[in-house]
Amino acid sequence: MVAKKNILSNAIRMATSLVIGFAAFSVNAGDLVVTAKNTDGDPLEFTVVQLTPKFETSLTWSGMLNAEMRQQNTLFQPFVLPVKVGTSVSFPNLDEARHHVYSFSRAKPFELRLYGKDESNSITFDNAGVVALGCNIHDNMLAYIYVTEAPIYLTTGPDGTITFSDLENGSYELSVWHPGQKDRDNSEAWSVDITGGQTNRELTVDMRRVWGQQRQPAEGQY
């Protein structure tokens, strides 16, 4: 009787270990590290990296940036803001000076007339594309809102690198956009497979010789 109980107990333990082992094996997720560089090999900050699964997935990406374009220190912050189509972006003014934000871009022409410190306005971006921003009062101010249909996206830091964590295994279309690339209205695309562990991709973006960046205003300029 004792022997039968031991056999049954061992069988239960074996079955349990098989189930646990299968569950661990079936966790199919990996990380993707993307590094964007120009043709000289220099890292590219402000590169929007986008991923579109080529398979059906029920996962919801949680790595999106806050939809806010601040006016602070007579600059737009951030310089590049990626948002998904249909997102409402707020434009808070944190400066003592008043700002007059506008865009003539095809994707979303708009104008936010003069408003002052601690005031805010919002705009909904309902078409994919590049939206270049300016200020009618401060010529040094320049920024970009990149409106994307991709479900997964992040922006590179000063080292040109960004990490997507816990991606579902499968094939993705990987595309990048940078305000200084030669074809500024279209993103460049590649294919990447996530198979667990860490996948590294280094991408080269063909840049224009001269492209616009905002600058801190000189002392006493305004």
Overall fold of domain 30-205: Immunoglobulin-like (2.60.40)
Instruction: Give the 3-state secondary structure of residue 22.
Output: helix
Residue 22 pLDDT: 25
Give DSSP secondary structure letters for 192-211. Answer: EEE-SEEEEEEEEE-B-SS-
For range 195-211, the mean pLDDT:
93
Confidence of residue 189 (pLDDT cuts 50, 70, 90): confident
From CA 90, how far away is CA 96, in angstroms rounded? 18
Residue 46 pLDDT: 96
> Can you give the pTM of this predicted structure?
0.83
> pLDDT tens digit string along 129-167?
999 999 999 999 999 999 999 999 999 999 999 999 999
For range 2-20, the mean pLDDT:
35
Question: What residues does each domain of the chain span?
Answer: 30-205
Confidence of residue 77 (pLDDT cuts 50, 70, 90): very high
- For residue 8, pLDDT over 70 is answered with no
Residue 110 pLDDT: 98
Residue 219: other Cβ atoms inside 10 A: 6
- For residue 207, pLDDT over 50 is answered with yes
Residue 32 pLDDT: 97
Partners of residue 162 on adjacent β-strands: 34
CA dihedral 70, 75, 78, 81 (to 10 degrees): 80
Phi, psi at 8, each rounded to 5°: -65, -40
- Token reading at 65: 């940036």
CB 178 within 8 A of CB 42: no
Residue 57 pLDDT: 83
- For residue 58, pLDDT over 80 is answered with no
